[in-house]
Chains A and B, each alone.
Chain A
Amino acid sequence: MMTQVLSKSPLSKPSLSRSSPSSQFWLARPFGERATQIFLGVLLAALLLVTVLHTVVPQGSPLHVNAYTVNLFGKYLSYALLAVAVDLVWGYLGILSLGHGAFFAIGGYAMGMYLMRQIGDRGTYGHPELPDFMVFLSWDSLPWYWQGFDMAWFAFAMVLLAPGLLALVFGFLAFRSRVTGVYLSIITQALTFALMLAFFRNEMSFGGNNGLTDFREILGFNLRSNDTRLGLFLATGVALALSYILCRAIVSSKLGRVCVATRDAEARTRFIGYRVERFQLFVFVVSAMIAGLAGALYVPQVGIINPSEFSPLFSIEIVLWVALGGRATLYGAVIGAILVNYAKTIFTGVMPDAWLFALGAMFVLVTIFLPKGVAGLLRKRRRAATSDNAGTQEAIV
């Protein structure tokens, strides 16, 4: 036992100093973390593998990944991005948002508006400017807030700014009044429900309950072509990697530690001089923007955005993904989102009626047997491997 421990002891050094804050530039810090390196490595390998299996491997081969599957994977990745956004506020800030679907949907609508304007005069009614549903409702001109969405840069900026602005106003009011805990969760739920009802109305000019659909092309690329689908899948993967790095950088900075301090003892954090509500607002807005980005990448891949994305049930489901994968790890959120949605695809194909029962059962089982989610299981195994030598290291020190 002892020799085994001693032979391992050099390895244990980083595991001890890991909790020590580093002197690096804040955005560079995640690259030094083992978990982030593994995550980025696996993600990159997965993106490459799918690309190769889709393009290089011939169609007849059993290893070939068809366009439909690539599209499906792209959808999972955008859900994973959304889950990372939720984990940032729930895991590290302690804010259980049951309304993140709203930011996702708004990002999606911003992208949808751009895609609608790209159709131009090729719609069923052939109007040069108005989308079909507006012609159908006998509108004669574009509402002012549809202006500018024919320009890609403007629309893509709105993908981030619109959810960010909503989060800023909502968060400012909520955090300034020190609304936290269950009350905040209920208000976020109300927010997304109110938006769903609003977007259902035709007068809102977002296509009512049909939403926006029949998209043709994005940045000049045909949305129905396989290459565009692969491109969107890769873009989502890259967005996930970059957002993950940003979130890790925030979490591993001193600001991240202030967030954890706020989560565990808000009054105390205030007392040592941090303006807690501003930190909450900052992280909440960043999270909303990431959710908006996820929505914008989701919409061209599924080809439709309608008010059902605002439904409170969807927002609760996101929280389930994060809980299942493991809260406050970020990679757990990714694992959870992909696992649950993969299971959903399979179940709804085989036994559509059983899906909700399966989701419920999965949640109950994870809560009982893996209270820290799938990520907790991974961590436990790693800790078991390093705990022995960490102990001796301490004894030596």
Chain B
Amino acid sequence: MSLLQSLKARDRVFDFMAPDASPVDVRHGPILYMEDVTVTFDGFKAINNLNLTIDDGELRCIIGPNGAGKTTMMDIITGKTRPTEGSVWFGSRHNLLNMNEPEIASLGIGRKFQKPTVFEALSVFENLELAMAADKRILPTLTARMTGEIKDRIDEVLQTIGLVSLRYQPAGILSHGQKQWLEIGMLLMQRPRLLLVDEPVAGMTEQEMERTAELLTGLAGKQSVVVVEHDMGFVRSIARKVTVLHQGSVLAEGSMDQVSNDPNVVEVYLGADDEEAA
């Protein structure tokens, strides 16, 4: 390599500064490990010695009463909150505790927040276009062209989320449920390995819930999906494996039947709320 070229390759001057581009290593099965994680806010332990493993391609539901630490757990995985103790690994190669939010997002962890936010003035198609994994600097964005490949990718996601017929409609006219699906679609455009979905069916109608259940179970296998949800009926309809959180740690883990027969769970969670137990 000529001197000029080596000077130009500035990202290689300090090797430790080069972004870690190695692929996510899931040869051992799990895509996410959380080990002995503790988070303390002013002496209050929001997460207390949490151990959680998510397998590649798995669909996992996380339930637990308010304040059980579900949202804090999501915050740790996406890099928004740093744990006081413990370790969090993505695959067996990437230590998430050494990364910031954009780095974690570009590694393939997508998060859907509770309240759907889509770009209302833009069409459904354009919403997906903007969300797509691409060079997001100014000039590449200015000169970006619509290629057949991109179109196919958007069409594929439109199929998945069932909004093909509404593709040219502004996102502002969509119903609440459709906006949730569009937002999941926007996450899918980034080709995530792991999707974190926070209360996807809050405020949905019965039919919309069914559609969402189909959508999420359809995604599992291609990517890992972690769903945090309060609605027990919905969890029962999609879950293969359920984790119950309580006071910042795992109380029980297993199939829905196993979990709902666990005496501890019945006491702290299901027993606490008659309506959900029924």
Contact = CB atoms under 8 A, between A and B. Distances in A.
Contacts of B117: 265, 267-268
Interface string A2-40: 000000000000001101111111100000000000000
Given A253-B141, A255-B138, A21 B146 contact: yes
Interface stretch (A126-134, A273-281, A295-303): A273-281
A26 B119 contact: no
Interface stretch (A42-50, A200-208, A256-264): A256-264
B10 interface: no
Contacts of B141: 253-255, 258, 274, 279
Interface string A199-224: 00000000000000000000000000
Contacts of B118: 265, 268
Chain A contact surface mostly = helix
Interface string A221-258: 00000000000000000000000000000100111011
B145 A25 contact: yes
Contacts of A22: 145-146
A282 interface: yes
B61 to A, nearest CB: 24
Interface stretch (B20-28, B47-55, B129-137): B129-137
A267 B117 CA distance: 10
Q: Could you say which interface size class chain B belongs to?
A: 20 to 34
Contact of B142 (A255, A261, A275, A394): A255
A90 to B, nearest CB: 14
B20 to A, nearest CB: 18
A272 B122 CA distance: 15
B49 to A, nearest CB: 30
Nearest to B132: A272
Nearest to B120: A264
A226 B165 CA distance: 59
B138 A282 contact: yes
Nearest to A397: B165
Interface string B44-71: 0000000000000000000000000000
22 contacts: A19-B126, A20-B125, A21-B125, A22-B145, A23-B146, A23-B147, A24-B145, A25-B145, A253-B142, A255-B138, A255-B142, A257-B122, A257-B129, A260-B122, A261-B122, A264-B119, A268-B118, A269-B130, A273-B136, A274-B141, A279-B138, A394-B165
